[in-house]
Amino acid sequence: VRDHYLRVLEEIRQRQLPTEISVKLTHLGLDLNPKACLQDLLALAARAAAAGSFLWIDMEESRYVDTTLELFQAVRAAHTGVGVCLQAYLRRTPADLEALLPLAPAIRLVKGAYNEPPDVALPKKRDVDAAYAVLAGRLLQRAAQGEARAVFGTHDLHLIARLRERALGLGAAPGGGAWGAWGAYEIHMLYGIRAAEQRALQNEGVPVRVLISYGTHWFPWYMRRLAERPANVWFVVRNLF
Ligand SMILES: Cc1cc2nc3c(=O)[nH]c(=O)nc-3n(C[C@H](O)[C@H](O)[C@H](O)COP(=O)(O)OP(=O)(O)OC[C@H]3O[C@@H](n4cnc5c(N)ncnc54)[C@H](O)[C@@H]3O)c2cc1C
């Protein structure tokens, strides 16, 4: 898996693509050997830097959060071009965000995709949405000061509209931040979902990136994502028809 991503990053470099990669640590052997996983991450971060790209670390089930954040911090100490995903549904995330902010981190905030017990994650969607808005506001504040790269990984257009207003109020307009062309904040969405809105946002000056899963195993990957959270099936069906 590491060698595959190294080759992808080499292609990104050669073709000068404005592409970033996002990896799951369990794909890099986190369960088998966290030390080897860290070495792989360091190799990927170095190659991403050489390619003018960026390395994102996905967040998986809650049992991986501690190790994922530890490895993120270890790689971040050596490379600036690495970011991590935080999940708004986890009760621990406000504390995790505060702990990461002194690093001037790149954070992709998502609602969270796994089935977690209620003592670990907020069970009600409206509570998750509210938690997301608070966390995003905090991240935007730092991004407005040039002290974070804020990425909102969501298709929730109502939430995005609120965040854009909040950003305007903070002077964190897209395109004006310390992260160069990407501005103070960006929206990331999944490939094929809300495609028209992705274009509309981009046309309005909000940087939008599209996350694409690819390769020969995309179908099992996709089915696993659906199995993790049956509510996702509805989104997919709605999107198809
Ligand atoms: C770029 C990106 C990276 C992500 N990385 C992670 C990660 O590392 N770890 C993790 O746990 N989760 C990750 N997720 C998934 C995330 O946690 C949510 O499960 C997912 O984005 C759905 O939540 P939402 O914010 O879009 O809002 P929701 O409130 O769930 O959805 C808002 C609206 O968007 C539409 N919508 C949402 N999802 C879909 C869909 N799949 N198909 C069609 N329509 C849809 C629906 O109309 C819905 O009403 C990622 C999501 C994105 C976009």
Distance 40 CA to ligand 1 centre (A): 27
* pLDDT at residue 148 in the model: 93
Closest ligand 1 atom number to CA of residue 128: 29
Q: How far is CA 19 from CA 7, 48, 92, 160, 212, in A?
A: 13, 10, 31, 23, 11
Sheet of 149-153: strand order equals 21-23, 55-57, 82-87, 106-110, 149-153, 185-190, 208-211
> Which residue CA neighbors atom 31 of ligand 1 most closely?
156
> Which residue CA neighbors atom 46 of ligand 1 most closely?
235
* pLDDT at residue 224 in the model: 67
Q: What is the CATH number of domain 2-216?
A: 3.20.20.220
Which of 2, 47, 58, 76 is catalytic? The answer is 58
* pLDDT at residue 184 in the model: 81
Residue 82 dihedral angles phi and psi, to the nearest 5°: -140, 140
* pLDDT at residue 170 in the model: 86
- Cβ–Cβ under 8 Å, residues 201 and 208: yes
Query: For residue 13, what are the contacts with CB-CB under 8 A and spacing of at least 6?
Result: 50, 51, 52, 53
* pLDDT at residue 129 in the model: 98
Q: What is the pLDDT along the chain (241 residues), one digit of tens a residue?
A: 999 999 999 999 999 999 999 999 999 999 999 999 999 999 999 999 999 999 999 999 999 999 999 999 999 999 999 999 999 999 999 999 999 999 999 999 999 999 999 999 999 999 999 999 999 999 999 998 889 999 999 999 999 999 999 998 888 767 544 455 446 899 999 998 999 999 999 999 899 999 998 877 777 766 766 666 666 666 555 555 4
Pocket of ligand 1 (CB under 6 A): 58-59, 85, 87, 110-114, 153-156, 188-190, 193, 211, 232, 235-236, 238-239
Distance 35 CA to ligand 1 centre (A): 31
Catalytic residue list contains 108: yes
Which of 108, 142, 149, 194 is catalytic? The answer is 108
Distance 28 CA to ligand 1 centre (A): 23
Residue type, 45: A
Query: Looking at this predicted complex, what is its ipTM?
Result: 0.95
Catalytic residue list contains 40: no
Separation between Cα atoms, residue 219 and residue 27, nearest integer Å: 16
CB atoms within 10 A of CB 226: 13
* pLDDT at residue 214 in the model: 82
Distance 114 CA to ligand 1 centre (A): 11
> Which residue CA neighbors atom 47 of ligand 1 most closely?
235
